[in-house]
Structure 1
Amino acid sequence: MHTKQDSFPLISIVVATYNGAKFLATQLDSVLAQDYPNLEIIISDDNSKDETFAILEKYQQQFPAIRIIRSEQNQGYIKNFEQGCKQAKGIFVALCDQDDRWHPEKISKLYAAIEDKALVYADSVLCNENMEPIGVNISDRVTCKDFSSPLEQAIFCRIYGHAMLIRNDFLQQIFPFPSIIPHDWWISYTATLHGGIRYIPEALAWYRQHSNNVFGAVGGKRNKTQKSQVVQQEKRFAIERMQLFYAQCPENRTKEKQVLKSLLETYQGSGIFNGIRRMIIFFQYNDLLLASKKRSKIRKWLFCCKILVKFV
């Protein structure tokens, strides 16, 4: 006898938790309320010290689809997500933060839209700590669209893990997740090399912004203190990131490979010559390199001009 689940491929939801007791139940309830009929829920806990694990065990007793992995020591959010993803048995994988809330049709709508792409993502509603919408969606702050070139994800990535559905056969090829960039940036960049990225312009999650967020406000600006803390590291990070992206880009992507190589050379160098060369590259390919920035053409050109003196 065939069941309704036989018509739908298994989808794995990977939840990463760490000291998330305050908001965890809201997120788990929304995950369990999904209308997609064939799910496994893998929860990777990064050795929480609060009541998180007790909450997880309570849910697991009620819902057999939940599987819990607990780290013996804290390893950080990137490796925590990687640990959960490696255990995923589904044809597709959805990443899940511990403090948001999902629309009940989130998984089913993403599944219907992914087709042959490596990744599909949707819009999200930005909320305050009390999960009250602040009147802004992620798409109001950044450019959300389909992406097919690695250059579109090489400088900025504004595709967030909580909004994704990922093809698992692709995902299993890109471990380990590098430690120098967020896991969702790595997934997005490599997805452009394995079939591309699709966007559906519908808000399917409520993204909670609060003091414990890893990244804080989506698309927000750093304050002066934050800028001073990161300015000395930016060049090193840019070099490491470009080395990583250049190495990952295959030889048959000739144009993109050459642009990444040229950018890497300018980051590794110093002086005004490299600044001018980098600025010219940004002007020439600004539609790709600044694809995620929701800015006017003039503001993108001004950004390209600032590249002249950055890292000189």
Structure 2
Amino acid sequence: MITILLACYNGKEYLPAQLDSILTQNTQAAFSVLIRDDGSTDGSWEVLEDYAGRYPERITLLPKTQPTGSAKGNFFALLDAVGEKELCRPGDYLMFSDQDDVWLPDKVERTLALMEQTQGSPAVPALVHGNLKVVDKDLKVLNPSFFAFQGISPQRCSLTNLLVQNCITGCTMMINQPLFALADKTPPECAMHDWWLGLLAACFGKIGYTIEPLMLYRQHGDNSVGAKDIRDLSFYTHKLSQKEQIQKNYREMFAQAEFLCREYEDKLSDQQKEILQAWYTIPKLGRFGKARRILQYGFTKNTWLRTLGQFFSI
């Protein structure tokens, strides 16, 4: 069984297209959709109730609870619900959905095939993800490759690489039951749910990816994260103008690494613990010490401009 976790907040305008693209998947695999709304005020709840009423065998809408206030909080709450409802047993899988995209008709089938190829054995923790087509609010293609658009290198998925830069887009992600079982501890501070799951997979299992697009990633004014063209100068000027946000991001990156090292100490190898400690203790070093540590352990990003920016941000 595949359970698709859909996190919603004020997504009324685009929810029907997203849900329809999931419900009409061309697959023989059994799947269901678990939805959590994070306190929408735009009528999203009524749309979700309508779909849950029309497709009771496919859709489960969680009762209203205290809003988490963030996309990552919403997804972590969904993961908690999966555990409480025992929806991910051996042989089961989880997928993740935003509220405003459109899945290509064979997304589930292709992602499942990639998972089976990547994990090898169902007992091995595994995560797979893929590319996306970037589209505007009317689904006109802006770029056929999200990886190229954002300058993402999906092959950079070692622990060292993932500590400094996430290459996994959550809405294309599938995880298996062994990885879900490992994710029973949620760090108080972390960047995003997909990043955290990626770190666990890098430490204890396997990560697979496809460069072929699995879905349409809709760009519009209300995106929680959004995508920006790496070739555009505004990509870098925007980054420079977000000093406080960048510093917050790095605090979360160091915090999730420290949490991983502490809470999973008995499962980590000595080398993994050394890498984690080398990363999260960087803020204690002086400017020269930070630069030396980054180069010594290869804590570099996938472009020299991003790495240069990191030198001045940490």
Distance in 2 (CA, whole Å) between partners of 1:85 and 1:40 is 14
Match of 1:105 in 2: 106
Closer, same or farther in 2 for the Cα pair 1:175/1:218, shift >3 Å?
farther
1:245 positional shift: 4.0
Match of 1:256 in 2: 272
Contact 1:118 1:166 in 2 (8 A): yes
Closer, same or farther in 2 for the Cα pair 1:212/1:190, shift >3 Å?
same
Closer, same or farther in 2 for the Cα pair 1:218/1:131, shift >3 Å?
same
- What amino acid does structure 2 have at the position aligned with 1:230? Q
- Residues 253-272 of structure 1 deviation map (CA, whole Å, 9 limit, x = unaligned): 33332132123333124xxx
Q: In the TM superposition, what are the counterparts of 1:112-151 in structure 2 within 5 Å?
A: 112-115=113-116, 116=119, 118-140=126-148, 141-146=150-155, 149-151=158-160
Q: In the TM superposition, what are the counterparts of 1:30-179 in structure 2 within 5 Å?
A: 30-37=21-28, 38-63=30-55, 64-76=57-69, 77-88=71-82, 89-90=87-88, 91-115=92-116, 116=119, 118-140=126-148, 141-146=150-155, 149-178=158-187, 179=189
Structure 2 unpaired stretches of 5+: 120-124
Q: In the TM superposition, what are the counterparts of 1:170-209 in structure 2 within 5 Å?
A: 170-178=179-187, 179-209=189-219
Q: Which protein is bigger by CA-based radius of gyration?
A: 1
- What amino acid does structure 2 have at the position aligned with 1:128? D
TM-score normalised over the length of structure 2: 0.82
The count of corresponding residues between Structure 1 and Structure 2 is 289
Match of 1:246 in 2: 261
Distance in 2 (CA, whole Å) between partners of 1:107 and 1:277 is 46
Match of 1:6 in 2: none
Q: What do you get for the CA RMSD once the two structures are aligned?
A: 2.5
Match of 2:288 in 1: 276
Larger displacement relative to structure 2 (149-158 or 211-220): 211-220
Contact 1:31 1:102 in 2 (8 A): yes
Match of 2:242 in 1: 227
- What amino acid does structure 2 have at the position aligned with 1:244? F
4+ aligned runs moved over 4 Å, structure 1: 248-252, 302-311
Structure 1 unpaired stretches of 5+: 1-9
1:101 positional shift: 0.4
Contact 1:93 1:166 in 2 (8 A): yes
Contact 1:239 1:268 in 2 (8 A): no
Contact 2:258 2:280 in 1 (8 A): yes
- What amino acid does structure 1 have at the position aligned with 2:115? I
TM-score normalised over the length of structure 1: 0.82
